[in-house]
Structure 1
Amino acid sequence: MSHPQRAAAFISDAERTTWHDETLWFVRQKRDKAVYGIPEFQQLRQLASDIKAHTLSRLDEYLEQFERNAQANGVTVHWAADAAEHNRIVLELIRKAGATSLVKSKSMLTEECHLNPYLVKNGIAVVDTDLGERIVQLREEAPSHLVLPAIHLKKEDVGETFHLHLGTPKGEKDPQQLTEAARQHLREKFLIGEVAITGVNFAVAETGAVVVCTNEGNADLGVNLARVHIACMGMEKLIPRTADLGVFTRLLARSATGQPVTTYTSHFARPAEGREMHIVIVDNGRTRQLGRPDFRNSLKCIRCGACMNTCPVYRRSGGHSYDFTVPGPIGAILSPNIDLHKHSSLPFASTLCGSCTDVCPVKIDIHAQLYKWRQLIGEQGELPATKKLGMKLLSSVLARPGIYRLGGKVAREGLRFLPHGLTHAQALNPWAKARELPAAPKQSFRDWYAAQVK
């Protein structure tokens, strides 16, 4: 299914669509307030972008430096070319530890690799410990947002889910009561978890340490209670020095939720005595994206979700309509790199308004890359047949001034006399589902200009 087809199911519930839109815009406003309080914010954005550009230009060197320093700290480093290899490595580590259960903090990389279903299929019990992630896991849904994985759900939905799975009273929708129920439920899972998996927000080449940012402290609790810690990271998460980290931590939370900083910013450099720490570094298409000059900047992404919170298409169509781990504008850039045919509709899920680029904390030219993907999709013959035919007809008209002028005149006259029910029939004019056509002008700009010159 294409993005418009999946989005149709979401927008059919007008009340939920409006609520989703307003909620995310509220988060965007919080981001703006946090940004305006930092006079040097634009300089921080440029510095972060430059650091990332430098790192990507020497990614092979920094990866090797990171591996050396991590190994010197007593950490075992693994390399995975794709999602399948990542999953096999993680399963082998779990089995080697003799474990049958694990606790996992939020990790978009493991979602990208579909680790959870793979482990469950192989007899491993997986518990997501981030509250939002746990909610969608219980519902057997994918996250719909990078930072706010359950943002598509209302408190009534959560109450129903917890009643079904955690035994809370039917009809309970008080957030405090629901959070307490989740806390008690998850605490038990932490205590019996034999292996802890975390994502990685930043990896420091200079020290071989990884940094995990959370607001709930679940990553810290899981790692400190389990005997084995497995950190899964995309290879683009590197930064050169610890001194660079402060630039990104000042940008990340402000861009994501409007906070000055995440509640917990935890550094994991070496395993505690008698324990193990493993880092799995994953490619899964990243080197291919690195080799595309037009799209290399997308690897600067720090997964803050700011582009989603501001995007008028994402806010009104929901994250699940993208059918990709990373939804929204940045996901529409990353997804065709993984599977161009499957995700060919996503670069068109944008108005190209540029708001995503304006809020990106590392200055990724998102809207320009979306436009470039549209060109490549056309060149690769992945446009729908109707769009191909429409573009051919339009190009023929635009290439012939006489036909263009005649078409404009016919359209102006037709809009004045045809009934509204015909011009706005959804079967004939899907554009008019949520829009009103403007009143047709009496004359074209060309005719007006010719009259003015005379």
Structure 2
Amino acid sequence: MTAGFKARAAEALADPVLKVAVERTAGTAETKRAAAVAAFEDFEAARTRAAAIKDHVIAHLGHYLEQFEANAIAAGAQVHWAETADAACEIVLDICRRAGAKSVARSKSMLGEEIGLPHALAEAGIERVETDLAEHIIQLAGERPSHIVWPAMHKTREQVSTLFRARHAEPHAEETIAAMAQSARRHLRAAMLGADVGISGANFLLADSGAVCTVTNEGNAELSVVPPRVHIVTAGIEKLVPSMDHAVHLLRMLARSATGATLTQYTTFYTGPKRGADLDGPEEMHIVLIDNGRTKMRDEGLAEMLRCIRCGACMNHCVVFRQIGGHAYGGTYPGPMGAVLTPALDGLAASRDLPQACTMNGKCQEVCPVRIPLPTLLRGWREKSWREGLEPASTRGAVRLWAWAARQPWLYRFGSRLAVRGMRLFGGKWITSMPLASGWTRHRDLPAPQGRTFMEQYRERRR
């Protein structure tokens, strides 16, 4: 994170193309999710069960990790443990070196982004091919993902067309999404089939069988990890579920919350490497189980965040995310879930502005399929930032002044009446400019108050 959050947010707000691109995707996702949820009988009860499944695993994490390891090894996989991001990258690189890998095909994995795997592969001189269509787009553009489900949602189709025409050997002839997808398929197919190693993430890890579940809409995960001789899985330890029954329930919640679909197009379970009678599959399967702060999160009041199944619903419905997009957040994970996770991963001092970038309207908690109390967790970071003295002196002084005024009822009422009536001097229904309010008016018009304070209207209604 080079520039601070406020600078990145200001840059994003000034970009009209970004707003169009984000709204196209997030708006469609919101509409489709609403329809999928309306057609799902007892969705609220299903959310409660999903949260209970995740809470149970988190509370008994050691038991399920041991069970998963034993069953994965029995199925022929090799299990590796990594406490940190650097340790995880070194394990992956060591496997690649022993396989003599010159190229790897990688299916989309936010955990890979979290641990810095793309950079580690590049520094080791190993060619990396991102096989997910959106990840392919941002790899060509030299950018980072801006969303955990749609990494290239900040790009318009017009921008993607220009990029493909410049970088593909056989670019599309027609300006249609289907033609552009065909262009990407031609570009990626040979790379996927010729890769020395396939790398994937995991949506779920099944403890009772040692199986790894991946979910995609393009089938790229299957082509990325089945043809190569070696398959490497990088997975956070919180991805565990007890059994197939639990995985299926969470898959139903994941698809509806992420894309509004009943089930994702390709849902695949991998249990060990190729066996003697199998016609295809990798000869080796390595599963790298990664902590990277997750145990600390569980032990320090963020256990509920470990429920997250990475559906992206919270950001699709977030009024802040839909104004500034994902890159403004600076970390691997954007939106409300990123505002909780980034301080845990990168430290609160480096990311204290993220928990502040929230209106606390509660929509993220309302749509979360595993009932994560995101506003509560964000308030917890705000309180910690205050306790540890991370807020600037100007902010602390302003809050103390406001607190003093709020304890003087007559002064607070007088100031409120004065402010509400004074604001009407700067506009009729909308305020386009006002002293000390540029943050509210620089990129939008501020609705002018009706002329009376809330308490004045409240007393009148009671009368």
Q: Please classify the TM superposition score into its range, dividing by the shorter chain length.
A: over 0.9
Q: For 1:150, which of 152, 160, 165 is the aligned residue?
A: 152
Matched, 1:46 2:53: no
Report the counterpart of residue 353 of structure 2 in structure 1.
Answer: 345
Report the counterpart of residue 291 of structure 2 in structure 1.
Answer: 283
Report the counterpart of residue 339 of structure 2 in structure 1.
Answer: 332
AA matched with 1:335 = T
Runs of 4+ that moved beyond 4 A? 168-172, 416-423, 446-453
CA drift of 1:448 comes to: 8.5
The answer to whether the 8 Å contact 1:11/1:316 transfers is yes
The count of aligned residue pairs is 452
Give the 5 Å matches for 1:211-230.
Answer: 211-230=213-232
CA drift of 1:428 comes to: 4.7
Secondary structure at the counterpart of residue 446 of structure 2 = coil
Secondary structure at the counterpart of residue 200 of structure 1 = coil
Q: Render the CA deviation track for 1:317-374: whole Å, top value 9, x for unaligned.
A: 1010111111111111111112211111111121111111111111111122112221
CA drift of 1:73 comes to: 1.1
Q: Render the CA deviation track for 1:11-52: whole Å, top value 9, x for unaligned.
A: 212354144224312211101111111112222111111111
The answer to whether the 8 Å contact 2:426/2:434 transfers is no
CA distance in 2, matches of 1:248, 1:271: 25
Matched, 1:4 2:6: yes
Report the counterpart of residue 321 of structure 2 in structure 1.
Answer: 314
Report the counterpart of residue 88 of structure 1 in structure 2.
Answer: 90
CA distance in 2, matches of 1:184, 1:226: 19
User: Identity over aligned residues, as a percent?
Assistant: 39
CA distance in 2, matches of 1:287, 1:347: 21
Report the counterpart of residue 419 of structure 2 in structure 1.
Answer: 411
CA distance in 1, matches of 2:46, 2:323: 30
CA distance in 2, matches of 1:267, 1:119: 26
CA distance in 2, matches of 1:451, 1:191: 70
CA drift of 1:165 comes to: 1.5
Q: Flag the 1:203–1:81 CA change in 2: closer, same or farther, 3 A.
A: same
Matched, 1:441 2:451: yes
Q: Flag the 1:160–1:361 CA change in 2: closer, same or farther, 3 A.
A: same
CA distance in 1, matches of 2:308, 2:111: 13
Q: For 1:75, which of 74, 77, 96 is the aligned residue?
A: 77
CA RMSD of aligned residues (A): 2.4
CA distance in 1, matches of 2:461, 2:371: 46
CA distance in 1, matches of 2:158, 2:456: 56
The answer to whether the 8 Å contact 1:160/1:170 transfers is no
Matched, 1:37 2:46: no
CA distance in 2, matches of 1:422, 1:316: 19
The answer to whether the 8 Å contact 1:412/1:442 transfers is yes
CA drift of 1:438 comes to: 2.5
Q: Flag the 1:414–1:163 CA change in 2: closer, same or farther, 3 A.
A: same
The answer to whether the 8 Å contact 2:313/2:367 transfers is yes
Give the 5 Å matches for 1:24-423.
Answer: 24-168=26-170, 173-273=175-275, 275-293=283-301, 295-338=302-345, 339-412=347-420, 414-415=422-423
TM-score scaled by length of structure 1: 0.93
Q: Flag the 1:230–1:19 CA change in 2: closer, same or farther, 3 A.
A: closer
CA drift of 1:9 comes to: 1.2
CA drift of 1:302 comes to: 0.4
Q: Render the CA deviation track for 1:282-340: whole Å, top value 9, x for unaligned.
A: 011111111123x2111000001111111111111101011111111111111111221
Report the counterpart of residue 279 of structure 2 in structure 1.
Answer: none
Q: Render the CA deviation track for 1:77-99: whole Å, top value 9, x for unaligned.
A: 00111110000000000000111
Extract unaligned runs of 5+ from structure 1.
none
AA matched with 1:368 = T
The answer to whether the 8 Å contact 1:415/1:423 transfers is no
CA drift of 1:177 comes to: 1.6
Q: Flag the 1:417–1:34 CA change in 2: closer, same or farther, 3 A.
A: closer
Secondary structure at the counterpart of residue 104 of structure 2 = strand
Secondary structure at the counterpart of residue 79 of structure 1 = strand
CA distance in 1, matches of 2:17, 2:63: 51
Secondary structure at the counterpart of residue 341 of structure 1 = helix
The answer to whether the 8 Å contact 1:197/1:230 transfers is yes
AA matched with 1:345 = D
CA distance in 2, matches of 1:393, 1:77: 56
Q: Render the CA deviation track for 1:392-434: whole Å, top value 9, x for unaligned.
A: 2211211223432442344355345568899933665422332
CA drift of 1:215 comes to: 1.0
Q: For 1:430, which of 439, 455, 461 is the aligned residue?
A: 439
TM-score scaled by length of structure 2: 0.92
The answer to whether the 8 Å contact 1:20/1:315 transfers is yes
